[in-house]
Amino acid sequence: MLHVKAFMFNPVQENTYIVYNEQGKAIIIDPGCYFSAEQETLKNFIKDTKLQPVQLLNTHCHLDHVFGNKWVNNEFGLELHLHADEQAVLEKAPFSGERWGLPFDNYKGPLHFLTEGDTVKLGNDALKVILTPGHSPGSLCFYCEEQRFLIGGDVLFYESIGRTDLPGGDHNTLLESIHKKILVLPDEVIVYSGHGMKTTIGHERHHNPFL
């Protein structure tokens, strides 16, 4: 059984997730920890819960989702998994940081590419990789079919959707991704978004004004 722990980090108020099982193995998704106090918060939770991080994932590589990649690599020795179309976004993230007054040291280690239909395994549990471009060229969602939850990045929010005015974004592509890849999931699926509160597929199907 998987457990999901969320942290809201950095001035952009991004949601960082730790997904872990009962054997203490953990996946870190979108580490947005910018300040040292945020790094300590993440580290202390991992220590206090007696977790062993085994994988680092990015749903996409906008700066607020990658601030902590390098720190996670240094602290836990994890290499980054992402979609190939996000490599250029990752490389440009520090320039965005400078522009927004949030400079940071970028991850420069090995990259491991995920694509549609791949499976991220954690013991006996699995997350299905779903490609959902539109907010960013290679945005990924991670779906646990057995437990009915989705780590969705910035694709779908509570009664909102991801912005598409950043480089590589496209509004029509995002809507197509949501309708064809996300809204086809069962209504009870919990969506853990990259910002804000969690929601469900059913709620968004009936109440999201953008859809």
Reading phi first (left if > 0) and then psi (alpha if -120 to 50, else beta), residue 13 is in left
What residue ranges do the domains of the chain occupy?
2-207
Q: Per-residue pLDDT for the chain (211 aa), expressed as one digit of tens each?
A: 999 999 999 999 999 999 999 999 999 999 999 999 999 999 999 999 999 999 999 999 999 999 999 999 999 999 999 999 999 999 999 999 999 999 999 999 999 999 999 999 999 999 999 999 999 999 999 999 999 999 999 999 999 999 999 989 999 999 999 999 999 999 999 999 999 999 999 999 999 999 9
Identify the pLDDT of residue 21: 98
Class of domain 2-207: alpha beta
